[in-house]
Structure 1
Amino acid sequence: MCIGVTAGAYILSLFALKYRDRVLGLILVSPLCKGPSWTEWLYNKLLSNLLYYYGICGLVKDCLLKRYFSKEVRGGAEVPESDIVQACKRLLDERQSANVLRFLEAMNGRPDISEGLKRLRCRTLVFVGDESPFHEEALYMISKLDKRYSALVEVQACGSMVTEEQPHAMLIPLEYFLMGYGFYRPVQLSGSPRSPLSPSCISPELLSLESMGLKLKPIKTRISLNV
Structure 2
Amino acid sequence: MRRNYCGSHLNHPELVEGLVLINVDPCAKGWIDWAASKLSGLTTNVVDIILAHHFGQEELQANLDLIQTYRLHIAQDINQENLQLFLGSYNGRKDLEIERPILGQNDNKSKTLKCSTLLVVGDSSPAVEAVVECNSRLNPVNTTLLKMADCGGLPQVVQPGKLTEAFKYFLQGMGYIPSASMTRLARSRTHSTSSSIGSGESAFSRSVASNQSDGTQESSESPDVLDRHQTMEVSC
* Contact 1:48 1:101 survives alignment (8 Å): no
Partner residue in 1 for 2:72: 90
CA contact (8 A) 1:128 1:138 kept: yes
Matches within 5 A, 1:71-220: 71=57, 73-74=59-60, 76=61, 81-82=64-65, 84-93=66-75, 94-115=77-98, 118-186=111-179, 188-189=181-182, 191=183, 197-201=184-188, 202-205=191-194, 207=195, 213=230, 220=235
Q: 2: CA distance between counterparts of 1:66 and 1:198?
A: 29
Counterpart of 1:68?
Answer: 54
> What amino acid does structure 1 have at the position aligned with 2:187?
S
Q: Which residue of 1 aligns with 2:30?
A: 37
Q: Do 1:48 and 1:104's aligned partners in 2 also have CA atoms closer than 8 Å? A: no
Contact 2:121 2:153 in 1 (8 A): yes
Q: Secondary structure at the match of 1:17?
A: helix
Does the 8 Å contact 1:177/1:212 carry over to 2? no
Identity %: 24
Q: Which ranges in structure 2 are unaligned for 5 or more consecutive residues? A: 101-110, 198-226
What is the rounded CA distance, in whole Å, between the counterparts of 1:99 and 1:187 in structure 2?
A: 40
The aligned residue for residue 21 of structure 2 is 28
Query: Displacement, 1:99?
Result: 2.5
Q: Number of matched residues?
A: 194
Task: Give per-residue Cα distances to partners, 1:155-177, cap 9 Å, x unaligned.
Answer: 12322211112122213321211
Q: Residue type of the partner of 1:91?
A: H
Structure number with the higher helix fraction is: 2
**Offset of 1:213 from its aligned partner?**
4.7
Structure 2 CA distance for aligned equivalents of residues 211 and 26 of structure 1: 22
TM-score by length of 1: 0.72
Distance 1:212 1:49 in 2: 54
The Cα shift of 1:114 comes to 3.5
Matched position secondary structure for 2:192: coil
**Alignment TM-score, normalising by the size of structure 2:** 0.69
Q: Tell me how far 1:102 sits from its aligned partner.
A: 2.0
Is there any run of 5+ residues in structure 1 with no aligned partner, and where? 1-7, 52-56, 192-196, 222-227
C-alpha spacing 1:27/1:159, structure 2 compared with 1 (3 Å): same
Question: SS of the residue aligned with 2:121?
Answer: strand
